[in-house]
Structure 1
């Protein structure tokens, strides 16, 4: 697919692009997951593979951008996950007041990404138009495709749209200088990734286009999928937009907390700096 945002630019123009710090909030975990739950045609389906849950925020001297909002506590219990911290409270502990945030990117509307929409009363939300079509269209008639969505959270997103507080955009959009979103699909119809300019280069927050590094390393699909061909093709889009494989961050891999340095803000062990280089190679 065309990747227009990555059009060639001069070194001078690149120097003018703002840089951001990237903070990952590890807010929940599920230590009981198995590889059979995570991968299609897995050879060792009963082997344990823990799953962590993240949301993110970007910050520089000019602005703060929140990416996804985490999981509602009641939904965590319903789906068998263990909450570690509250994303809104963790943002506050990091010096970010959710009530003052003006920009929130929604990479998609699965329940573990959209559980705190109401905590950002002044924010404008950005989401792929295809995701809204998906969650309000014919595919939600089928239990397989609706199982990772919660009706009340879809309704909240529709209310934001009708309130003039949500922009449904096309497949690529610059949210701010140095921050752009790109459709990849696969996991759900409107799955997008976020490309961020940092001091170490262009980092791609893959969100659920990659749950684990292993999907990317072995080119295998995750088990929750809308379109497998889009899911695998999305790996190449990620590679094209990131400066290297060490500039790619999945949304659920416990390795993230092992290889990236802990931030000096927020609850101990809950916040990590993704704009800094990983401490050791992933494999």
Structure 2
């Protein structure tokens, strides 16, 4: 007897709804949309995985200054949301960065003892010749890219290959599309394998209609990513996009106090995914 449990690791997943942009339109979100002037709110999420005291943060939210610069509204600090969930940021040892856009890379300094994980292709992209083109660099902030370089030189950033096991029950997988190094996160939960699609899916609608989001590096990779997501998730009800207001409406809140701001996506949806 080693005392080690043979039960596979299962995580709780908390989706932190830290920001919103109610002024977005369908034309800003989808290429060649038939109703481009119709409003379509954009929500902003980061995530935290918790298992018996083990904590893994997935993306770190958005710097309020950059939210203001890009026209978004902050609902709460993702760092304060972690504290409300009983997570001390300075005690977090593992942070996954699904890509390096400004709304996924804020607050890096809040995790002074963490090791960060990101696709090597994303670092090649954000420090390479594609950044000469305004289209490709528009969702990156140079100060945050500099932080990544510092973390790399400090030995705290691991730039990994396309598929990587982060922990028992947590793996990351390259899909590209939205940016060169876009990855998704597969998490084992009590209800099965959940895929945090991050910006491989901004909205469920992309997945349902097979259409691309408007901010893209490679459209073919973006559409093909839908197949990879379906391959890794136990069902479509196990897929969580990064910016869809429907997420907050179909999943149960983490607590009464956090209703509308933090939801449990390791639990089954309490409403149909088609709810609007």
TM-score (norm 1): 0.94
* Pairwise CA distance, 1:232: 0.3
Instruction: Report the counterpart of residue 65 of structure 1 in structure 2.
Output: 56
DSSP-derived class of the 1:96 partner: coil
Answer yes or no: is the 8 Å Cα contact 1:70–1:116 preserved in 2.
Answer: yes
What are the residue-to-residue correspondences of 1:118-157 with 2, within 5 Å?
118-157=109-148
* Pairwise CA distance, 1:282: 1.3
Cα 1:275–1:56 change in 2 (3 A) is same
Question: Counterparts of 1:247 and 1:201 in 2: how far apart (Å)?
Answer: 8
Matched, 1:82 2:87: no
Matched, 1:245 2:236: yes
Question: Counterparts of 2:260 and 2:254 in 1: how far apart (Å)?
Answer: 8
DSSP-derived class of the 2:17 partner: strand
DSSP-derived class of the 1:112 partner: helix
Instruction: Report the counterpart of residue 8 of structure 1 in structure 2.
Output: none
Question: Counterparts of 1:61 and 1:147 in 2: how far apart (Å)?
Answer: 39
For residues 1-53 of structure 1, the C-alpha deviation after alignment (integer angstroms, 9 at most, x for no partner) is xxxxxxxxxxxxxx732000000000000000000000001000000000000
Answer yes or no: is the 8 Å Cα contact 1:265–1:271 preserved in 2.
Answer: no
For residues 95-134 of structure 1, the C-alpha deviation after alignment (integer angstroms, 9 at most, x for no partner) is 0010110000000000000011111000000000000000
Question: Counterparts of 1:198 and 1:176 in 2: how far apart (Å)?
Answer: 13
Question: Counterparts of 1:267 and 1:202 in 2: how far apart (Å)?
Answer: 25
DSSP-derived class of the 2:252 partner: coil
Question: Counterparts of 1:266 and 1:68 in 2: how far apart (Å)?
Answer: 23
Select 1:56's aligned residue among 41, 47, 57: 47
Instruction: Report the counterpart of residue 100 of structure 1 in structure 2.
Output: 91
Select 1:206's aligned residue among 197, 212, 223: 197
Cα 1:265–1:161 change in 2 (3 A) is farther
DSSP-derived class of the 1:131 partner: helix
Answer yes or no: is the 8 Å Cα contact 1:193–1:205 preserved in 2.
Answer: yes
Answer yes or no: is the 8 Å Cα contact 1:94–1:265 preserved in 2.
Answer: no
* Pairwise CA distance, 1:265: 7.2
DSSP-derived class of the 2:46 partner: strand
Question: Counterparts of 2:137 and 2:105 in 1: how far apart (Å)?
Answer: 14
* Pairwise CA distance, 1:62: 4.4
Question: Counterparts of 1:86 and 1:267 in 2: how far apart (Å)?
Answer: 12
Matched, 1:27 2:22: no
Matched, 1:231 2:218: no
Matched, 1:180 2:198: no
Number of residue equivalences: 269
Matched, 1:171 2:162: yes
* Pairwise CA distance, 1:269: 2.3
DSSP-derived class of the 1:180 partner: strand
Cα 1:19–1:266 change in 2 (3 A) is farther
Question: Counterparts of 1:95 and 1:46 in 2: how far apart (Å)?
Answer: 42
Select 2:181's aligned residue among 165, 175, 190: 190
Instruction: Report the counterpart of residue 3 of structure 2 in structure 1.
Output: none
Question: Counterparts of 1:110 and 1:54 in 2: how far apart (Å)?
Answer: 13
Answer yes or no: is the 8 Å Cα contact 1:262–1:271 preserved in 2.
Answer: yes
Question: Counterparts of 1:62 and 1:24 in 2: how far apart (Å)?
Answer: 17
Cα 1:266–1:105 change in 2 (3 A) is farther
